[in-house]
A and B are shown apart, each in its own frame.
Chain A
């Protein structure tokens, strides 16, 4: 049955293999260029010197910031393109490989030929699907390792930490791919027609990805801390906001009023840092909610568990459908 599946799908396998090879070659070439630039522009030195530095506020003026800033802007558009391309790979897999996997056999009625051999329809589906899952997991894992190597200069330079590339790093992309292929397979099995199966795969995949991305900031209760010293590589999940000594929210208008009162009473000493001291004495703090960098892998695990869980349910549903409803 493995030979049979290979014989039947070698064209798709070769095309997919070619696409992956080209993608990997591009990643290696641009990755080496980026790494060379990272070293030669001095960004590497700055990154190791500035480890653990606070992000964001009032930190300009060091000689490193322009160096790192220039490094990011040189690689910005390439990074964006690469993320977009990598993020579409799972849904392409779902639409063009998984959705036709069974629906094409139903459309061309070749499933009747396959089922007329001495293997059960359940085994036919399990081998096809199992082989596809194996190939996809292995290639997605290999590709993700490559992407993580490719992305590492950006990480080390503190480009929003790995959070900014959450969708293409770690184990989540593997889970997206397995989810996409189980979704496509079930759609193909239920509709028995390729085009509707492809359309459903596209809409459900994108819908579920958006939905879970909305929920993702709340996987764990965010840490609340002063907006002035959030650790580098944290994921800010709220805008900055003010609270008073009792911890109640204070609106920006109220704070502005206090600041203008202070400005009129002490116009001579009024500047950025005295205002902050003044607000601090009044019990006002500028806070933000964030997920610290050490939670990255926990979040990856949660995200991957969600999508692997969905994938397993869809595969179970496919086999049930084939056995009971077909």
Chain B
């Protein structure tokens, strides 16, 4: 099956500053994906490459099998994109933005957008600049959904929103996902935002994918182990250590199991999503002992 998003040795440099370095990633269609990484990890660059806003320095990116750079007229109608801080023409009335969308998108469903906004009591005759932050975000989301995309790319969609607006935003988004079976990629540097809604995780750091896979499988294949400091050597056969911390009396490690349970003298705990993400993000740059391929095989065990 064609991947919704596939990057092959994708590299992007701004001048001499690398943003993505030989990045490999394959996201199957139908998932709600959390794209997680610290600021400057390359999340926005990856999404802009997927929309064809940028050209790769090397390597390639495909969206539903098409190149966003070479075939933008095929890719653009199929992908809804919400940029960071949800920029809109602030002088435009909401109604004018709907007209804007109608004229520039072949698959446009303006009626749906209008209904959604009316349900949220957002006045269509008001200029966007005079709406509240939460309403503005809802307008941006409604416009993106009205494009009738097969995939949504949302870049930090919840930034600068208050908790109530965040919840409403996610509510509308998840309703739409449930109705229309969209693939969604949400980028964030805060995993807590995404924990309840996403079923697929991509961790991006230092311009490379550190981990990618279905969240359930990832949680199954990782463990926190607690034991005495001398037991470490025994473990290396059975698992890869992602992160470890030591005190004189005990070692705590987050490990990826290599297909069999860890040896018995360790106290074993299941990991939480946030714990998993933090363990991968705290690895030093250049340590990609866990290549995406091996990650995928781990998740499919």
Contacts and interface: CB of A to CB of B under 8 A. Distances in A.
A7 B76 CA distance: 22
Given A110-B88, A110-B89, A112-B53, A118 B106 contact: yes
B87 A117 contact: no
A120 B76 CA distance: 8
A326 interface: yes
Contacts of B268: none
A326 B101 CA distance: 24
A248 interface: no
A280 to B, nearest CB: 71
B108 to A, nearest CB: 9
A1 interface: yes
Contact of B51 (A7, A115, A326): A115
Interface of A is mostly: helix
A119 B81 CA distance: 13
Interface in A105-126: 108-110, 112-113, 115-121
A59 interface: no
B83 A116 contact: yes
Nearest to A117: B104
B76 A109 contact: no
B213 interface: no
Contacts of B54: 326
Given A120-B72, A324-B55, A113 B88 contact: yes
Interface in A87-116: 108-110, 112-113, 115-116
Contact of B144 (A3, A116, A326): A116
B127 interface: no
Nearest to B106: A118
Given A7-B96, A116-B80, A120-B76, A108 B87 contact: yes
A3 B76 contact: no
A112 B76 contact: no
Contacts of B87: 108-110, 112-113
A231 to B, nearest CB: 57
A4 interface: yes
A8 interface: yes
Contacts of B16: none
B103 to A, nearest CB: 6
B104 A119 contact: yes
A118 B81 CA distance: 11
Nearest to B140: A113
B104 A109 contact: no
Given A108-B87, A110-B88, A116 B103 contact: no
A3 B99 contact: yes
Interface in B96-132: 96, 99-101, 103-107
Contacts of B266: none
A208 B101 CA distance: 41
B245 interface: no
Contacts of B89: 8, 110, 113
Contacts of B101: 117
B92 interface: yes
B80 to A, nearest CB: 7
A4 B97 CA distance: 9
Contacts of B199: none
A8 B96 CA distance: 10
Contacts of A120: 52, 72-73, 76
28 contacts: A1-B103, A1-B104, A4-B103, A4-B104, A7-B92, A7-B96, A109-B83, A109-B85, A110-B89, A112-B87, A113-B87, A113-B89, A113-B140, A116-B51, A116-B76, A116-B80, A116-B81, A116-B83, A117-B104, A118-B77, A118-B147, A119-B76, A121-B52, A121-B53, A324-B55, A326-B53, A326-B54, A326-B55
Interface of B: 51-55, 72-73, 76-77, 80-83, 85, 87-92, 96, 99-101, 103-107, 140, 144, 147
